[in-house]
Chains A and B, each alone.
Chain A
Amino acid sequence: MPEYKISLRQLMIVTAMFTVGSGILLVPSGLASIAKQDAWIAALIGVLFGFGAVSVHLLLAKMYPTKNLMQICETLMGKWIGKAIGLLFLVTFFLCGPTTVLQEIGNFVTIQMMPETPIEAIILLFGAIMTLGARLGLEVLARSIELMFPWVVFLFTAMTLLLLSEVKLERTFPVFEFGALPLFSAALTFASVVFFPHIMLLMIYPASVNRPEQAYKAVYIGSLFGSVVLVIVIALTILVLGPSITAQSMYPSYMLAQKISIGNFLQRIEAVMAIMWFISLFFRLALYLYMIVAGLSIILGIKNRQALMLPAGWIMSTLAVFIYPNVAYRQSWDAKVWVPYTLVVGVFLPMLLLGLHGIRKLRSRKSA
């Protein structure tokens, strides 16, 4: 059976959803605590950083249009070192990326909506549908993202429009009050949450796209769309809530939705708005799981990757319950470990691979 190849349109929407992913819920607070009222500028700079990283990924994809990340590793580093690096990458990413996002969903629901519900129940339910989605494979995921995408766009647009009456422009002043340094460190945080994990998408494009030579367009447009959504959300938290409250809150974007109140009847619809990030988080998680398992099955040479899905999903859900002992741990982890880690896997790893590619080329030219 030939492997299903997704269309460029699907790749674009997958990238957009992956970009919006967990950032929509997690990014505003951290950014505002570093860059204060300039958080939106920091986000814009972060988008630039991110596009730098994505262009490195795309360059790598251009060199090997029929291979995915794991196969590229094996080709360039040799079979065993390639496999070892790949395995290390997948396992650490599995622990730091999707597992923590899954716990974050549990945290979000227990903090904002149902404090007495055990977090295990929420993680189990979410983990179950995530595993189901990943097990059904890329084709189903890509098509369902296509179906859900308009809803996310609709909810996001509705939220933005309904909040326009609450916007106070003066909250963004003074611009550059604290100089450039916090802006760059905030921008790096933004890129590390939103863009550096895009390295994982190399498991899907170029090899699983029907027109790999055009894939870069779809990835750029998708990333751009996701960035626009995130920058708007961050700007809205600053414009509506102000930098202090954004920085103090766990989930400022949820508070943003709580602020919606049009004429005393269109109000208290934050739970509806929460659907938006449930959808985007679900797809980010399902894609993560799919890509990690796909990579693992290549490294281990397992033909039937479906067999790995259920155990991987199960392990992830179990780990998600206790991966962070408390929320303060998460916050210091995100600040101290996550940024350097994603820099290594999302920027240095592809650069290393490109370097190796260059050396190989030189050598083969010499020998020829």
Chain B
Amino acid sequence: MWKASVLGMKRIGALFVLFAFLTLLLSGCWNRRELNELAIAVAAGVDRVDDRYRLSVQVVVPGQVASKKAGGSQAPATLYTAEGDTIFEAARRMTQVSPRKIYFSHLRMFLIGESMARAGIAKFLDFLMRDHEFRTDFYLVTTKGATAEDTLKIMTPLESIPANKLFNSLQTSERVWSPSLTVTLDELINDLSNEGKHPILTGLEITGNREAGETPENVNAIKTDANLRFVGLAIFKVDKLIGWLNETESRGYRYIKGGVKSSVAFVPCGDKGKVTLETVRSHTKVTGKILGSKPEIEIKAFVEGNVGAVECRGLDLIQTKTIDELESKMEKKVEQLMKSVIAKVQEEYKVDIFGFGEAIRRSHPGFWRRHKEDWDDRFFPNLAVRIKVDYHIRRTGTLNNSFINDMKE
């Protein structure tokens, strides 16, 4: 009996020692990073300044974001910049100005300054891919007509953290208007390393008065002085920016790439009137063919839409004939959108941003292996592209015929 209790005591003693050791091990690890020791970066931008990298990082000021009372005295985010011969060096040099080490895991936007984009983006992308703090889920965009640093200085209404405003408006505009395109790091790397497709990024510009945009007054007025706007797509030849697509061309590009979730377009009706149609879903199939010895691309687009707004008299939406007519007008319109952007890129830039080469590679790997070297110079500019659009109007909104039909003349 006595012996047993001693044994029990020993056991308890051993357990205590074990627990003591466990607390040593479990109390944390070398890499613990408490929230109040982090500077959480939400947006970053890189510019080329005299052959060096200038990295700008927009960091959240937690106190300003968390406080419930609106309108703190400080800005909700702050911007740190540093220069370096390599981008990693610039990122670490930033600790000279930032009180905390920058934490990149929650990055939402990465801005590539136009100067950087023209000089080539591949060199610093490796760092973003290699460093463990960067996830691959942030969006990359190119600034247009301004440096990334200036772009990150603009105060924005509605979303107090500018990076969030950029992230959300890029996502929303991709979804409901479709001239812009969200590109994540892994997609960009894929475009750069796969044969037969050149990368493309959405452009971002500052509108209005730039200086006024950097002050809190920018968000105090109802009509803001400056704002950030996504404008069309940037065309890259391998990793260098060589030109821009405007809004219409960008939408054509989106239709070719497929996956336009929603967009709006109009076709004329009656005299001077317009019917606006809302695209609700679309998918596109791009197939490569070889006819004789010539490559050919076939694009088949399937688009569904609804009638969204009618401006003219005499349009009888109850008749299937009317719907058929609208459909065929719309098919021509979408086809035209695609054709014009293809023609422009073929004539002006001569780089295959559509992935037509990739389509050929997938369907005819043998042909591709023989001709991939001169694809962009020889084949792409003269490539025959056959487009077939299938537009289906499903519904006409909450009205059938417009009240305009019954309106007194």
The answer, among B137, B194, B365, for a CB contact under 8 Å with A261, is B137
Q: In this complex, what residue of A is CB-closest to B364? A: A174
Contacts of A3 in B (CB 8 A): none
B194, A244: Cβ atoms closer than 8 Å: yes
**What CA separation (Å) do A115 and B30 show in the bound complex?**
9
- A258 to B186 alpha-carbon distance, docked (Å): 11
Chain A residue with minimal CB distance to B135?
A: A258
Nearest Cβ on chain B to A16's Cβ, whole angstroms = 30
User: CA–CA, A248 to B130, complex, Å?
Assistant: 10
- Interchain CA distance A244-B129 in the complex, whole Å: 13
Q: Residue B31 at the A interface, CB < 8 A?
A: yes
**A258 surroundings in chain B (CB, below 8 A):** 135-137
Q: Within the complex, what minimum Cβ distance (angstroms) separates A139 from chain B? A: 22
Interface flags for A251-279 (1: CB within 8 Å of B; 0: not) read 00001001101000001100000000000
A241 an interface residue at 8 Å Cβ cutoff? yes
A121-B29, A121-B30, A244-B193 known; A173+B362 contact, CB < 8 A? yes
From A118, A245, A255, residue with most partner B Cβ within 10 Å: A245
User: Are the C-beta atoms of B31 and A259 separated by less than 8 Å?
Assistant: no
A121-B29, A121-B30 known, 13 other contacts, Cβ within 8 Å: A116-B30, A116-B31, A117-B31, A125-B25, A174-B362, A174-B365, A244-B189, A245-B189, A245-B190, A248-B189, A255-B136, A258-B136, A259-B136
A-contact 0/1 string along B363-400, CB 8 Å cutoff: 10100000000000000000000000000000000000
How far apart are the CA atoms of A368 and B25 in the complex, in Å?
66
Contact present for A115 and B132 (CB under 8 Å): yes
Contact of A114 with B by CB under 8 A: yes
In this assembly, does B333 line the interface, its C-beta being within 8 Å of a C-beta of chain A? no
Q: Please indicate the chain B residues that have their CB under 8 angstroms from the CB of A63 in the complex.
A: none
Looking at the complex, which one of A112, A170, A245, A261 makes contact with B132 (CB distance below 8 Å)?
A112
CB closest residue in chain B, given A241? B186
Q: Min CB distance, A312 to chain B, in Å?
A: 22
CB-CB under 8 A from A116, the residues of chain B are 30-31
Say whether B153 faces chain A, with CB atoms less than 8 Å apart.
no
The answer to whether B137 touches A244, judged by C-beta atoms less than 8 angstroms apart, is: no
Residue of B nearest to A177 (CB): B365
Q: For the complex, what is the distance from the CA of A289 to the CA of B58, rounded to whole Å?
A: 49
Inter-chain contact B137/A259, CB cutoff 8 Å: yes
- Please report which residues of chain A, range 173-204, place their CB below 8 angstroms from some CB of chain B when the two chains form the complex: 173-174, 177
Q: Say yes or no for A46: interface residue by CB 8 A criterion.
A: no
Report the bound CA distance from A309 to B137 in whole Å. 45
A147: chain B residues within 8 A (beta carbon):
none
**Residues in A99-123 with C-beta less than 8 Å from chain B:** 111-118, 121
Instruction: State the B residues within 8 Å of A (CB).
Output: 25, 29-31, 129, 132, 135-137, 186, 189-190, 193-194, 361-363, 365
Q: Chain A: residues with CB nearer than 8 A to chain B? A: 111-118, 121, 125, 170, 173-174, 177, 241-242, 244-245, 248, 255, 258-259, 261, 267-268
Does A114 lie within 8 Å of B362, measured CB to CB?
Answer: no
Could you tell me if A114 and B189 are in contact, using CB atoms closer than 8 angstroms?
A: no
- Within 8 Å by CB of B29, from A117, A170, A248, lies A117
The reply to whether A114 and B30 contact each other, CB–CB distance below 8 Å, is yes
**21 pairs, A vs B, C-beta closer than 8 Å:** A113-B132, A114-B29, A114-B30, A115-B132, A117-B30, A170-B362, A173-B363, A174-B361, A174-B363, A177-B361, A177-B365, A244-B189, A244-B194, A248-B129, A248-B193, A255-B136, A255-B186, A259-B136, A261-B137, A267-B137, A268-B135
Please determine whether A114 and B31 come into contact, CB atoms closer than 8 angstroms: yes
Query: Known contacts A170-B362, A174-B361, A258-B137; is A115 also within 8 Å of B190 by CB?
Result: no
- Lowest 3 CB-CB distances: which A-B pairs, in order? A114-B31, A173-B362, A244-B193
Point out the residues of chain B lying under 8 angstroms from A111, CB to CB: 132
Smallest distance from the beta carbon of A325 to chain B beta carbons, Å? 20
Nearest CB of A to B285, in Å: 10
A125 to B132, CA, bound (A): 22
- Chain A contacts for B29, CB-based, 8 A: 114, 117, 121
For A244, the closest partner residue in chain B by CB is B193
A244 touching B190 by the CB < 8 A rule? yes
List, in ascending order, chain A residues with CB within 8 A of B186's CB: 241-242, 245, 255, 259
Which residues does chain A contribute within 8 Å of B193, judged by CB atoms? 244-245, 248
- Considering the chains assembled together, what is the distance between the CA atoms of A174 and B25 in angstroms? 51
Closest B residue to A268 by beta carbon equals B135
A118 partner, pick from B30, B132, B194, B361, beta carbons under 8 A: B30
Minimum distance in angstroms from B170 CB to a CB of chain A: 13
Nearest residue (CB) in A for B369 is A177
- Chain A, residue nearest B362 (CB): A173
> What is the minimal beta-carbon distance from A166 to any residue of chain B, in angstroms?
10
- Give the complex CA separation of A173 and B193 in angstroms: 16
Question: Which of chain A's residues has its CB closest to B137's CB?
Answer: A261
- A39 and B116 CA atoms in complex are apart in Å by 36
* Distance, CA A126 to CA B29, complexed state (A): 14
Complex interface: chain A residues within 8 A of B361 (CB): 174, 177
The residue on A at minimum CB distance from B133 is: A115
Q: Give the residues in chain B near A115, CB-CB below 8 Å.
A: 31, 132
Cα separation A255 to B132 with both chains bound (whole Å):
10
How far in angstroms is the closest Cβ of chain B from A274? 13
Which residues of chain B have C-beta atoms less than 8 A from A268's C-beta?
135
Most chain B CB within a 10 A radius of its CB, from A112, A248, A267:
A248
Which A-chain residue is minimally distant from B132 (CB atoms)? Answer: A112
Residues of B within 8 A of A112 (CB): 132
Chain B residues positioned under 8 Å from A121 (CB to CB): 29-30
Distance in angstroms between the alpha carbons of A241 and B184 in the assembled complex? 11
Nearest-CB residue, chain B, relative to A111: B132
Taking the closest CB of chain B, its distance from the CB of A61, in whole angstroms, is: 40
In the assembled complex, the Cα of A268 lies from the Cα of B190 at a distance in Å of 21
- Least CB separation from B126: chain A residue: A248
Tell me the nearest residue of chain B to A255, going by C-beta. Answer: B136
Q: How far is the CA of A89 from the CA of B113 in the complex (A)?
A: 59
**How many angstroms from the CA of A38 to the CA of B190 in the assembled complex?**
17
Nearest-CB residue, chain A, relative to B368: A174
Beta-carbon nearest neighbor of A178 in chain B = B365
Q: How far is the CA of A111 from the CA of B136 in the complex (A)?
A: 16
Instruction: Knowing A174-B361, A261-B137, A267-B137, say if A242 contacts B31 (CB, 8 Å).
Output: no
Q: How far apart are the CA atoms of A115 and B365 in the complex, in Å?
A: 42
How many Å from the CB of B284 to the closest CB on chain A?
A: 12
Instruction: Note all chain B residues with C-beta closer than 8 A to A173.
Output: 362-363
Q: Determine the distance from Cα of A178 to Cα of B361 in the docked complex, in whole angstroms.
A: 12
Q: A115 vs B32: C-alpha distance in the bound complex, in angstroms? A: 11
Closest-by-CB residue of A relative to B136 is A258
A125 vs B28: C-alpha distance when bound (angstroms): 13
A242 touching B190, Cβ below 8 Å: yes
Closest to A270 in B: B135
Look across to chain B and name the residue whose beta carbon is closest to the beta carbon of A128. B25
Contact residues in B for A170 (Cβ distance below 8 Å): 362
List, in ascending order, chain B residues with CB within 8 A of A241's CB: 186, 190
Residues from chain B with a CB closer than 8 A to the CB of A248 are: 129, 189, 193
Q: How far is the CA of A203 from the CA of B347 in the complex (A)?
A: 69
